[in-house]
Amino acid sequence: MEEGILTKTKLLSLVLCALLTCTHSADTISANQTIRNGETIVSPQQTFELGFFKPGNSTNRYYVGIWYKKISTGTVVWVANRNTPLTTTSGELTLTPHGLMVLRTAAGNIVWSSANSSTPAARNLVARLLDTGNLIIHDQHSVDQENPIWQSFDFPTDGLLPGMKLGQDLVTGIERHFTSWKSADDPSAGEFSAWLDTRGYPQVILKEGQQIKFRAGPWNGLRFSGEPDLRPNPIYNFHFVLNSKEIYYQYNLIDTSVVTRVVLQPNGRMERLLWINSRQEWIVYLTPETDNCDRYAMCRSFGSCNIDNSPACDCLEGFEPTAPEQWTVADWSQGCRYRTPLDCGPGEGFKKYTNLKLPDTQWSRFNLTMNHEGCERVCKSNCSCTAYTSVNISGPGSGCLLWFGDLIDIRTFAENGDDLYIRLPPSELDSTENSESSSGGRRARVIVPVATVILVILVSICLFYRSRRKTRKREGRKFIPNMYDHNIRVLLVLSNKGVYIISGWPGSHGDEFGHDRENNSGEEDLELPLFGLSTLLKATNNFSINNILGEGGFGPVYKGVLENGQEIAVKRLAKTSTQGLHEFKNEVISISKLQHRNLVKLLGCCIEGAEKMLIYEYMPNKGLDSFIFDKTRSKLLDWPVRFHIIDGIARGLLYLHRDSRLRIIHRDLKVSNILLDSNMNPKISDFGMARSFGRNQIEANTNRVVGTYGYMAPEYAGHGIFSIKSDVYSFGVLVLEIVCGEKNRGFFHKEHSNNLIGHAWGLHKEGRSLQLVAKCLVESINLSQVLRSIHVGLLCVQRHPEDRPTMTSVILMLGSEGPLPSPKEPGFFIGKTSENTRYSSSTFETSSTNELSITTLNGR
């Protein structure tokens, strides 16, 4: 008997064990089944897990929730009883036969239940955890998981998972919104919440308490108006559904291997997070709220916020500050009003405003089928209609969106904004050229002063250029290095035995270049082909003005075509002194012998009479700077191309540092010195500053610092110490610039005064590196490569040269998937002179503001 009981107990515990504690394979809770603390169910692909948890450092507060099964940090995405925690570990989660999930305390008190479902008892109900993170209650035998009896996705907690909806089900009346946790340790409802506001045309809003804090704008068919970053991309796409049954916004993953979620943080920040497996952390992919102009209604009625302006608020054209005195001291609380009030007269019309974030749509009405003309007519016919535009701007545009009353929360952008047609009185319409209602007489009155203004501008431009040309000439004579053009710095010298390519500029002293003298291998090393002047005259069409590729302080660069069809670039140089220059020849001739696919190739030179020219292979795509810093052209460089360029530069540099016969330090690596061939292969150019290094030499010192601000390593800029690691530093800056599409020097951020390196470092520390990525890259981005590149870039710009990797490891790190060391604080060197200024400590003689910083820097 006793034996029998034991066996029974054992069996029972085995069954229980199989059902609950010991296996984690179950993805369902069946009717009458109970889950207790320590027990979980797991979705089929092991993506999500449901069970009891205790958040962070909280004491004695237990919740039922859903979290990522595979993510080490145990990120909770949904909480059942967020406002009614259990205070002991002894809660029970049960599915009732009526299809209700119920959470009870040990004493049997219900602290949470899924819904007041009136579903008749069905035999086969189960609660199932799906791999989307959705917990559904449905009939086990029904294949229809789309319309369950209940689903957790209808009750988002503090954010959205892919496939969740934000908005209303007009049939069931369910309104899906989400609310921040109170704090990282407390999932109860915090101050901030996100909604789909459907009072007018639907828009996503973020509220702090009852106040709107931020408006992500209405969906315009392409993106959320005024939020250039909220638009389809390679990772997820947006769905906006508006019909008689439901109104919602949703995003879905395109690449389902990506783990991403939107979360409203306890501090009110809406963030899109991406899980980066290699780093085992969440990073912020984007935050829709980025600057002051995103503060709701910052500039009030008819005001427009432009973050590029200072102060940021301005009245829309045709409007003036309601309280001018307050307005001038940046108190915008009274907003703007019509310069001439509307009276609903027949002359009133609409003026088109472009590149705006559309105003708050809670006072709007819409018609999805009406066209533009109909829209204007309807707006005009109702005196309280203040503005209109198309609902959907994709393609030719469609639908009609009308505003009534004041227009609030408008931003102005440089590009990618929306058009808005605002009702104005006749007098305001006159001042616009394309107004239909202005009479000829009025137009003349406007045109005369405009013409005068244009004339004055033209004359000033001419005067400016004339004076500039004069300055240039004068400076050319004095050889001020600031006028230096990056493409034209290599000079040729003819000595008794051969042609030498000389670094530096006229008047420079060659002393620092002479350190390698002992390696002098003599003039017989010269292997540079000589071109005849007549050949080049022919190739360049007699140095035709039409062939000029660029103009520099020392003469133009011409494009030429040789008789065999080969395209060349000819740098035609000015005369120079030969004094002391022969000391460099060994090093320089060596440079002419460098051969690598990522170095620009010097084809030869030409010395005839006063003419001294260098002939290079022609690079049809010119400098990298002409791409990445150019709004339009930067779009041509998608991420794969950029990565290819980064990799190529790294290889070219590695060749210089390690593989070439002499170790060469370039010393002036920068974006404009990277040329692109027709296949977008990068070629390092401009060896005018380069130094050769002995095999065993680690670093050298110079009292003449040459280079370009923004790219110089701190030890070089400050103390003249250079090594291959100072090139690595410049390479790091280059990488960050290529990823970011912004210059290190001249970088501007509204929240801090760091340069690009400082900005990148700050974002990296916060795990927000992806925010660095150039806007134009969003569509072609390879996440791990981008993050890796930024990481490597930061390793390269570390303050201490010994911490920086060699180019060998840089190439390894860029090409592998392995873990990377953490970068230490970067060395920022923020110079004071204007951007692109080259400087040399040997040239103090001229007194312009540009030289001042050189004195302070090297005058010790």
Ligand X SMILES: *[C@@H]1O[C@H](CO)[C@@H](O)[C@H](O)[C@H]1NC(C)=O
**Active-site residue set:** 668
Dist. CA 638–CA 150, nearest whole Å: 44
- Minimum gap (Å) between residue 382 Cβ and ligand X: 4
780 is written with which tokens? 């072609």
Distance CA 50, CA 52 (A): 7
Question: How far is residue 313 from each of residues 206, 306, 412, measured CA to CA in Å?
Answer: 22, 6, 10
Look up residue 623 and give its DSSP letter: B
Token pair belonging to 141: 């035998």
Toward ligand X, which CB reaches closer, 365 or 380?
A: 365
Structure tokens, 312: 């940021």
Cβ proximity to ligand X, 225 vs 386, nearer residue: 386
Instruction: State how far the Cα of 333 lies from the Cα of 257, in Å rounded to an integer.
Output: 47
- In the bound state, the residue with its beta carbon closest to ligand X is 382
3-state secondary structure of 494: strand
**Shortest distance in whole angstroms from residue 420 CB to ligand X:** 18
The whole-angstrom separation of Cα 502 and Cα 495 is 12
Residue 234 or 405 with smaller CB distance to ligand X: 405
User: Is the distance from CB of 151 to CB of 137 less than 8 angstroms?
Assistant: yes
Burial of 780 (0-12, 13-18, 19+ CB in 10 A): middle
Residue 404 CB, shortest distance to ligand X, in Å, is: 5
Q: Rounded to the nearest 5 degrees, what angle is found at the Cα of 644, between the Cα atoms of 639 and 650?
A: 125
In whole angstroms, the minimum distance from the beta carbon of 201 to ligand X comes to 13
The footprint of ligand X on this chain (CB under 6 A) covers a number of residues equal to 4
Tokens 């003298």 correspond to what residue?
Answer: 517
Scanning residues 358 to 397, which ones bind ligand X (CB under 6 A)?
A: 365, 382, 384
Contacts of 173 by beta carbon, 8 Å cutoff, 6+ apart? none
Asked whether 673 and 685 are in contact (CB, 8 A), the reply is: yes
User: In this structure, what token pair is assigned to residue 689?
Assistant: 């500053």
Query: By C-beta, is 381 or 496 nearer to ligand X?
Result: 381
Please work out, in degrees rounded to the nearest 5, the angle formed at the alpha carbon of residue 44 by the alpha carbons of 41 and 47. 80
Task: State the nearest-atom distance from the C-beta of 246 to ligand X, in Å.
Answer: 24
DSSP reduced 3-state for 788: helix
Q: CA 751 to CA 766: how far, in whole Å?
A: 15
Question: Is residue 176 within 8 Å of residue 166, measured between CB atoms?
Answer: yes
Looking at beta carbons only, is 24 or 365 nearer to ligand X? 365
* Closer of 386 and 755 to ligand X (Cβ): 386
Closest distance of CB 393 from ligand X, Å: 23
Q: What does the alpha-carbon distance between residue 219 and residue 201 come to, in Å, rounded to a whole number?
A: 9
Mutual orientation of helices 807-815 and 639-654 as an angle, nearest 10°? 150
Single out the residue of 238, 404, 413, 629 in contact with ligand X (rule: CB under 6 A).
Answer: 404
Tokens for 504, please give them: 């530096």
CA distance 320 to 258: 49
DSSP 8-state assignment for residue 86: B
E strands in 134-235: 135-139, 150-151, 159-160, 165-169, 175-176, 178-183, 186-197, 203-208, 211-218
Q: Count of H helices and E strands in the chain?
A: 15, 49
Pick the closer one to ligand X by CB: 404 or 413: 404
- For residue 224, the minimal CB distance to ligand X (Å) is 24
Q: How far apart are CA 815 and CA 823, in angstroms?
A: 18
Q: Least distance from C-beta 127 to ligand X, angstroms?
A: 46
Q: Specify the residue, 385 or 781, whose C-beta has the smaller distance to ligand X.
A: 385
C-beta separation of 494 from 582 below 8 A: no
Site for ligand X, rule CB under 6 A: 365, 382, 384, 404
